[in-house]
Amino acid sequence: MMSPMFRLGNEDTGPPPWLRPLLKASFFVPCQFHGDSNKSECNLYCLDCMGNALCSSCLPGHKDHHVVQIRRSSYHNVIRVSEVSKFIDISCIQTYIINSAKIVFLNERPQPRPGKGVTDACEICSRSLLDSFRFCSIGCKLEGMRTNPELTFTLHPEPRREPTHDSESDESSVGRKLRRISGFSRSITQLPAAKWGNEGSSISSGTPPIVISYRTSRRKGVPHRAPF
C-alpha cells in the first residue's frame, strides 16, 4: 500500500518530491546511528521519508516503506533499472550493463573532452553516449525538464490490448476446421460393415482375393562334370 507521503509524481506537479533529495543524498558513508555495526555503510534510501541515506540496520524503522538500494560504479552512484523503473520513467537516459544488471547513473558525469567520432552526447553535461539517448543520468534529465516541458518522469500505464477482427476470424476458421473434422469422423463411423467371407476374412465380396506365395526359389547345386 502506498503511504500518504509517497507519490510517483504527475504531469501537473512534475517530478516526485523524493527525487531531488535522493540525488543529493550522501551514500557509502558510515551511518550516524549504527557506526559500530559491521554493516554501517549507507547504501539505501527511503522514498517515503526523503531523509538521509540508510544502512541495513536502519531498515526495521522503515517497514512497509519504499526503499531502494544504491550501488557504485567507477566512483559514481548508480541504481538498477529494475528498481527505479517501478517509480519513474527513465526514458531518454543512457543505460549500462554492470555485473549482468542494467543500471542508470544518478547524477551527471562531466567529460573533459568528447571521444573521437562520437555523434551523441548528453544535452546537459556533454557526456558521450553510446546510443541515441539524450541524457547520461537521472539528474541530467531532471535538469533538462527546466527547458523542455515535454520531458516527464511520470509512469503511464500500458494500454490494454483489445481483440482484433483478425483474431476473431482466426478463431472462426479454427471452429470451421473442427466441425469439418468432426463431420468426417461421423461419416467414417456410418459406413456399412464389410461382408464376411467363408473363411472368416474381413475382405468384402467385391475385393479380389490376395494370394500369398510361400514358395522359395531353390538354390542351384554345384554342377558336376560328365564322365569321359
Instruction: Tell me the mean pLDDT in the region 199-219.
Output: 51
C-alpha cell at 20: 531531488
- Report which of 78, 120, 109 is spatially closest to residue 95, judged by C-alpha positions: 78
**Angle ∠(222,226,228) on CA atoms, nearest 5:** 145
Rg of the chain over Cα atoms, rounded to whole angstroms, equals 39
pLDDT top residue among 66 and 208 = 66
pTM (predicted TM-score): 0.65
Residue 219 banded pLDDT, cuts 50, 70, 90: low
Q: 132 CB contacts (<8 Å, ≥6 apart)?
A: 120
Task: Give yes or no for a contact between 17 and 7, defined as CB atoms under 8 angstroms apart.
Answer: yes
Q: What is the Cα–Cα distance from 87 to 45, expressed in whole angstroms?
A: 13
Helix intervals (H) in 15-144: 19-24, 81-84, 138-144
**22-26, 150-154, 173-177: which has the minimum mean pLDDT?**
173-177
pLDDT at 85 over 80: yes
When pLDDT is averaged across residues 193-211 and rounded to a whole number, the result is 48
For residue 39, CA distances in Å to 31, 50, 54 come to: 9, 21, 11
Three-state DSSP state, 171:
helix
CA distance 27 to 46: 12
Residue 74 has pLDDT above 60, yes or no: yes
Contact call for residues 97 and 88 (beta carbons, < 8 A): no
| Predicted local confidence at residue 119, as pLDDT | 77
Least confident among 10-19, 42-51, 135-144, 176-185: 176-185
CA–CA separation, 18 and 21 (whole Å): 6
